[in-house]
Structure 1
Amino acid sequence: MPVPRSILGKQALAAMDVADMDLDVIAGAWPDDVRGHYVVSTSDQRTRPLHAFFGDGIMARLSLTPGTGGAPAGRFAWRARVVDTPSVRLREKRPDLFTAGPVGTSSPWGFVNAANTAPLPWGDRLFVTWDAGRPVEVDPVTLEFVAEVGHRDDWKPAMDQAVLPLVSTTAHPVIDPERGCLWSVSRDVITGAVAVIGYDGTGTRVQRWDVENAVLPQATHTITQTRDWLVLADTAYKIDTDEVFGGERTVANNPDGPVLLIRKDDLVPGRGTVSCKQFRIAPEVNHFYARYDDTDGVQVVMEHSEGVDIGMYLREDDIDVYGRPIDPALRGMYCHGMTPALTTVLQFDPETGQVRERARASDPERWWQAELSAIDWCIEGQTDPTRHHLIYLGFHPEAINQRAMRNYEGRIDPSLFPAEETPAVLVTHDREDLKALSEWTFALDDYPTSPSFVPRGRGGTRYAGTNPGGHDGYLVVAVHNDDRFRIELFDAADVGRGPISVLAPPNGTTVPFLIHSAWMPEANPAPNLERHRFTDDLDVRLDQLDPDLAATAREVAADLDVR
């Protein structure tokens, strides 16, 4: 049983009660030039979400310098906190009124902003995101809630509510290093109409531009950018209306979808709408990353997700690929990959409307489910990237249910399934041609999660190393295992050497399923700026509620105002 049972089971629930841990070096020697902080998001399984990704957000921070962050000499501080958003605070007061569903958690106040998917550093600031809620700012030191980004009405919620609107957005907004703003999106879940959101970092409002004559029919999990363009794509997560109302999930993700290029110079304050260039690609995709330099066209690494249905979660009554009952410990886990992984570099020409494939990477015997990747996020590294580090999770038939097999009949080829489960592989790809430069294969019972790149040395900007691009530095990888979770450190120039150092807590200590991660060079308190307040969201819509529920919302707002 290679998928660790601890990441969603009783061990994980117990581990979340232990907020602070100090990790020891259990193998190798920790290099003196590893600096900064590794931050990672996860979903609180104690809230019992139907889908493992829909629990309330938890943020963890690992200090990469021993003896700092409250850890004793020679040890490494791992600190984790529930992100105490307004919805978390409302749930704490009335947990009986919150109901988990197949696409999130609802209440009389509205929909929970889980804020559990991806950390997003911005200078000294730290945000955390989710696909169905506004970005949330947290304090990098205490990890406490600071604010949601922008007034609810500016985002034009997909479903407005008395207090907690459902905002369909992206879990991967981007920070524009030259314009000094955050770019995100807002999407209508019924029509697929999409808008660009811009936040300049201060104030209570965000700007919104409706994209003309374009729709993204499924989701917008990722967006990316070049110097001159925003790149939006339809991503492979489809809501099944019948499932929402208690039926079976019978939909499959679209096998192809639109890509929209929006010129940044056209996002003029006060204009209200913006045009786009439209393309279409296949197969489907969830994560993608553009080269910032667009002198030679818009080049994007596409981590295709054919045969991976994130929306399909495992149930206790499910049967796996081989006719075996799904282990109840995996209840809520998403359905794993049913096709070999494919990664490409696509080049989009905004003038001609042409798409050209520049490179592709695939190994049907070994590379299954391109899960999460690491790049050098400094502006120098994005402008001239050299490496793309990618974890392939492997083939895990015990985490593929027959309901998904039926939904994708004719689109998957079971004859390609390996004869048995395969381990995860960390691969360093050349950014130009996607050639595999170095690989490390994990043990079969290891389940690695989101890697983060840590630059070596200090370069021209705060997030840069001396040789930007992704080849000169380290990769920090969190690894789930039922014996205990580990933090493994790799040399980004040669991951095939294996981990050069390993951190771990005492035997038997596990953590809940970790999702996306990021790196910050420092952890400083959140700056004192004007921000949106929860109080600003409370207006006449409170009259929809019973008086006691309206009073509870005002009480939460008052508590947040005095912090």
Structure 2
Amino acid sequence: MMPQKRYIDYKNKDINSCPKVPESIMTASRCEHTAIQMKIDGYLPADLHGHVFMVAPTGTVESGGLPFTDGDSLLCGDGMIYRLDFDCPNEVRLTTRIAKPPDYYADKATRLGSKYEKYRFRNHGIIRFSLSLGIRNQLNTAFLPMKFSQDSQERLLVTYDAGRPYEIDTQTLEVVTSIGTNQEWQSELNGYNAPFPAFLSTAHPAFDAHTQKMFTVNYGRSLANFIDTIPFIYNLEQLPQEIDEFLTALGSFLGMNFLKDIFDLFSQPLQTFLKVYFRLIEKLTNLKIENFVYLISWDGSGALERWKLVLPDGSPVAIDQSMHQIGVTRDYVVLMDTSFTTGLEQVLNNPFPQNKKVETQLRNLLEGAVPPDSILYIVRRADLKAGQFPACDNQEVEVVVKKAVLPLETAHFLVDYDNPKGNITLHAGHICGMNVAEWVRKYDVSAYNPQNPVPSYLYGMENSETDIGRLGRYIINGEIGNVLSSQVISDAECTWGVELFAYPEQDPQTKKPLERLEDIYLCSFGLWKDLMTEFIADRYKNYRNRQVPLAKVLNLANKGIPAYLFRLHTSSKEALAIADRYEFPTGYMALSPQFIPRRNAEKSTDGYIICTVWYENKNEFWLFDANNLSNGPQCKLSHPSLNFALTLHTAWLPSIGNRQASYRINVREDYKELVRAASQKHPDIKDLFEQEVYPNFD
């Protein structure tokens, strides 16, 4: 473990040297480009090959890009897919396309001023929602490469937490088909007739190259599980003045510390009351919102197969936040209730997106720190025998899970494929004291002086973390669910906001997937004064897992801690340790690392790390030698037309080509019944689909 020795160094920095968050991370263009040639600054290695894919939210059909003028979250918006091609000597070309599933065209056709604007979508937190049409599948989060036995080339999914995954054509970057029909997925909100249902899934499905199976999940959370929600949005578009005034007064009332303490004291009885209230709402509206989790398996060509997951007492698995990531080992599928909230709850927490005064009050009343634990649900693959095929309406099949608890928040994790003696090795990046689903609002003020507003160009950006992040390796028995051993480290330089990772996936000698992970590459967020708001500091002032006192965190943020790219050595035979690191210059941010294997590699780390970098008003791709991060970037790639905001996940493929697989869901058939049901109340929804949606897929 690296010694935590650098606090004193930052303490001695000039108090006026706090770096400015680069403005370029706040802006994104929706312009699509084809094979533009990147400028290369530095040395482009001759053994670099293949194609890197990256996805990032890029605003909406109404916003025309990022940022949003009203300060909405940067994480909301259509996914822009970026592909860097390294298949020609001494040059790199970039192609970009917006992911356009059917709901994209419905969104485009219902913009302000359009024929169908009464059905338009609006931003609610990190999702986009229409009262009549449902929830947008923005496809802006991650990828999954797959190659089934029947495939001549690798296939690629693009994903989103609140929607079905879609397969894209790796050559054209166009979306081709959803995975599964609407009939094969269960909406979080049964009884709500909208053409685009709220399907909650995972942004990180898993592919087992050994057994040729893809795994994902479909889940829902009961209305009684939404303790921090307001369930009257389905009938109101504008708050009556009386409710507006009431919320304002209640916010002020609860803002008084001693009264808030009383409120917190009675929070458990209040939760019980709200659960009864929500049940009444369900009955009055004929809506049914129950806890459920289905584990889904797919063979790349046929119908989806699924199993309903239950606890040992027979009750359904209940997800409090999200299942942002899952993992697959030889004998188990590992699911996690991750530290990231999405779906219907985002709508309920921000029901009136045009009324920022009301949003302020609801946020103050309802938003809190995320739960400080990570809950795991472990499924034995031996129990996944004959499941249900929902396309054929077979009887549901239940599978019992084992439950385990990690005492820190987690948004992303990895598991070793090998699980000797039933013991699962799990690697976790812990985002401590941070709410990824929160963002800087127009009304936020500085944690240092409430008289100072946050710089206006940062509206929509992620808040700062309020404690140092940690990296963990856990050994968990899959048969019992208990944690056998754990090692958790932090580093005073590298682990401030450890979110996104990359890793070698293949043994260069055998050309087979690695069974054990020994090296993981991560980018850290750093610590930024301007992103430390009073709201986020207040929410985490009593943070249970705190390692660095909040006063010290604020002091460190006041001076700034830079972003890092580093390699975590995870071998189970050795102590967990940071083996290599690169400190980005002051005022730089970096995200979205991707490992690219080197041609003729001899060991798994022989390759390159490419990541996104922002500074001032510029954004670039930087390329590092994966074995020597500390040497700095070997080259930097840029282009005058390149303009992306905060980026998310990546993928690498050795080759691309026009899609050959025959699997394809017919869009018209897929939506026919949903459109018919919605058209009973709104007859012109059928015309909307006939004129604006179906022609793009026929």
Normalised by the size of structure 1, how large is the TM-score?
Answer: 0.91
Partner SS, residue 559 of structure 2: coil
In the alignment, the residues of structure 2 paired with residue 241 and residue 357 of structure 1 have an alpha-carbon distance, to the nearest angstrom, of 40
Equivalent residue, structure 1, for 2:498: 370
Equivalent residue, structure 2, for 1:550: 686
In the alignment, the residues of structure 1 paired with residue 409 and residue 697 of structure 2 have an alpha-carbon distance, to the nearest angstrom, of 44
Pick one of 153, 156, 176 that aligns with 1:126.
Answer: 156
On the 8 A contact 1:440/1:497 being kept in 2, the answer is yes
Equivalent residue, structure 1, for 2:484: 356
In the alignment, the residues of structure 2 paired with residue 138 and residue 151 of structure 1 have an alpha-carbon distance, to the nearest angstrom, of 16
Equivalent residue, structure 1, for 2:80: 58
In the alignment, the residues of structure 2 paired with residue 439 and residue 41 of structure 1 have an alpha-carbon distance, to the nearest angstrom, of 25
On the 8 A contact 2:127/2:347 being kept in 1, the answer is no
In the alignment, the residues of structure 2 paired with residue 547 and residue 467 of structure 1 have an alpha-carbon distance, to the nearest angstrom, of 62
Partner SS, residue 210 of structure 1: strand
Equivalent residue, structure 1, for 2:350: 244
Pick one of 24, 30, 38 that aligns with 1:6.
Answer: 24
Q: Which runs of 5+ in 2 are unaligned?
A: 1-18, 113-119, 148-153, 226-290, 312-316, 352-358, 389-396
In the alignment, the residues of structure 1 paired with residue 653 and residue 377 of structure 2 have an alpha-carbon distance, to the nearest angstrom, of 30
Equivalent residue, structure 2, for 1:305: 431
Distance 1:489 1:381, change over 3 A: farther
User: Which residue type is aligned with residue 210 of structure 2?
Assistant: E
Higher mean C-alpha deviation, range 269-278 or range 522-531: 269-278
CA RMSD of aligned residues (A): 2.1
Listed as ranges, the matches of 1:193-342 within 5 Å are 193-203=292-302, 205-213=303-311, 214-238=317-341, 239=345, 243-245=349-351, 246=359, 247-248=362-363, 249-270=366-387, 272-295=397-420, 297-323=423-449, 324-342=452-470
On the 8 A contact 1:222/1:287 being kept in 2, the answer is yes
In the alignment, the residues of structure 2 paired with residue 269 and residue 320 of structure 1 have an alpha-carbon distance, to the nearest angstrom, of 56
Higher mean C-alpha deviation, range 375-384 or range 395-404: 375-384
Partner SS, residue 539 of structure 1: helix
In the alignment, the residues of structure 2 paired with residue 400 and residue 158 of structure 1 have an alpha-carbon distance, to the nearest angstrom, of 34
On the 8 A contact 1:482/1:510 being kept in 2, the answer is no
In the alignment, the residues of structure 1 paired with residue 144 and residue 328 of structure 2 have an alpha-carbon distance, to the nearest angstrom, of 15
Which is helix-richer, 1 or 2? 2
After superposition, the C-alpha distances for 1:47-100 in whole angstroms (9 at most, x for unaligned) are: 446221120111110002346xxxxxx431111111111111112222231111
In the alignment, the residues of structure 2 paired with residue 65 and residue 484 of structure 1 have an alpha-carbon distance, to the nearest angstrom, of 26
Percent sequence identity is 25
- Is residue 102 of structure 1 aligned with residue 102 of structure 2? no
1:275 offset after TM fit, Å? 1.4
Which is strand-richer, 1 or 2? 1
In the alignment, the residues of structure 2 paired with residue 406 and residue 220 of structure 1 have an alpha-carbon distance, to the nearest angstrom, of 27
In the alignment, the residues of structure 2 paired with residue 408 and residue 202 of structure 1 have an alpha-carbon distance, to the nearest angstrom, of 47
User: Which residue type is aligned with residue 332 of structure 1?
Assistant: G
- Is residue 439 of structure 1 aligned with residue 581 of structure 2? yes
After superposition, the C-alpha distances for 1:378-410 in whole angstroms (9 at most, x for unaligned) are: 374531322111111111231232212222221
On the 8 A contact 1:236/1:253 being kept in 2, the answer is yes
In the alignment, the residues of structure 1 paired with residue 409 and residue 668 of structure 2 have an alpha-carbon distance, to the nearest angstrom, of 40
User: Which residue type is aligned with residue 590 of structure 2?
Assistant: P
In the alignment, the residues of structure 2 paired with residue 267 and residue 354 of structure 1 have an alpha-carbon distance, to the nearest angstrom, of 21
In the alignment, the residues of structure 2 paired with residue 111 and residue 303 of structure 1 have an alpha-carbon distance, to the nearest angstrom, of 30
Higher mean C-alpha deviation, range 225-234 or range 317-326: 317-326
Partner SS, residue 89 of structure 1: helix
On the 8 A contact 2:79/2:98 being kept in 1, the answer is yes
On the 8 A contact 1:451/1:478 being kept in 2, the answer is yes
Pick one of 520, 527, 532 that aligns with 1:395.
Answer: 527
Equivalent residue, structure 2, for 1:497: 631
Partner SS, residue 580 of structure 2: strand
1:121 offset after TM fit, Å? 1.6
Partner SS, residue 649 of structure 2: strand
1:184 offset after TM fit, Å? 0.6
On the 8 A contact 2:109/2:692 being kept in 1, the answer is no
Partner SS, residue 472 of structure 2: strand
Larger radius of gyration between Structure 1 and Structure 2:
2
Distance 1:415 1:231, change over 3 A: same
Listed as ranges, the matches of 1:420-431 within 5 Å are 420-431=559-570
On the 8 A contact 1:168/1:189 being kept in 2, the answer is no
On the 8 A contact 2:334/2:378 being kept in 1, the answer is yes
On the 8 A contact 1:427/1:438 being kept in 2, the answer is yes
1:18 offset after TM fit, Å? 5.4
On the 8 A contact 2:338/2:375 being kept in 1, the answer is no
On the 8 A contact 2:524/2:590 being kept in 1, the answer is no
In the alignment, the residues of structure 1 paired with residue 667 and residue 696 of structure 2 have an alpha-carbon distance, to the nearest angstrom, of 8
Equivalent residue, structure 2, for 1:514: 647
Normalised by the size of structure 2, how large is the TM-score?
Answer: 0.74
In the alignment, the residues of structure 2 paired with residue 295 and residue 334 of structure 1 have an alpha-carbon distance, to the nearest angstrom, of 40
Higher mean C-alpha deviation, range 294-303 or range 236-245: 236-245
On the 8 A contact 2:58/2:644 being kept in 1, the answer is no
In the alignment, the residues of structure 2 paired with residue 242 and residue 528 of structure 1 have an alpha-carbon distance, to the nearest angstrom, of 39
Partner SS, residue 389 of structure 1: strand
In the alignment, the residues of structure 2 paired with residue 142 and residue 403 of structure 1 have an alpha-carbon distance, to the nearest angstrom, of 44
On the 8 A contact 2:33/2:97 being kept in 1, the answer is no
Distance 1:294 1:477, change over 3 A: same
In the alignment, the residues of structure 1 paired with residue 567 and residue 193 of structure 2 have an alpha-carbon distance, to the nearest angstrom, of 45
1:544 offset after TM fit, Å? 2.2
Higher mean C-alpha deviation, range 533-542 or range 473-482: 533-542
Higher mean C-alpha deviation, range 509-518 or range 52-61: 509-518
On the 8 A contact 2:137/2:163 being kept in 1, the answer is yes
On the 8 A contact 2:125/2:347 being kept in 1, the answer is no
Distance 1:165 1:466, change over 3 A: farther
On the 8 A contact 1:472/1:493 being kept in 2, the answer is yes
On the 8 A contact 2:133/2:194 being kept in 1, the answer is yes
Distance 1:517 1:34, change over 3 A: same
In the alignment, the residues of structure 2 paired with residue 127 and residue 57 of structure 1 have an alpha-carbon distance, to the nearest angstrom, of 13
Equivalent residue, structure 2, for 1:478: 612
In the alignment, the residues of structure 2 paired with residue 46 and residue 117 of structure 1 have an alpha-carbon distance, to the nearest angstrom, of 15
Equivalent residue, structure 2, for 1:462: none
Distance 1:170 1:388, change over 3 A: same
Distance 1:527 1:560, change over 3 A: farther
In the alignment, the residues of structure 1 paired with residue 506 and residue 492 of structure 2 have an alpha-carbon distance, to the nearest angstrom, of 33
Partner SS, residue 298 of structure 1: strand
Distance 1:381 1:497, change over 3 A: farther
- Is residue 24 of structure 1 aligned with residue 158 of structure 2? no
Higher mean C-alpha deviation, range 552-561 or range 266-275: 552-561
Q: Which runs of 5+ in 1 are unaligned?
A: 68-73, 459-464
On the 8 A contact 1:261/1:276 being kept in 2, the answer is yes
Instruction: State the aligned residue count.
Output: 542
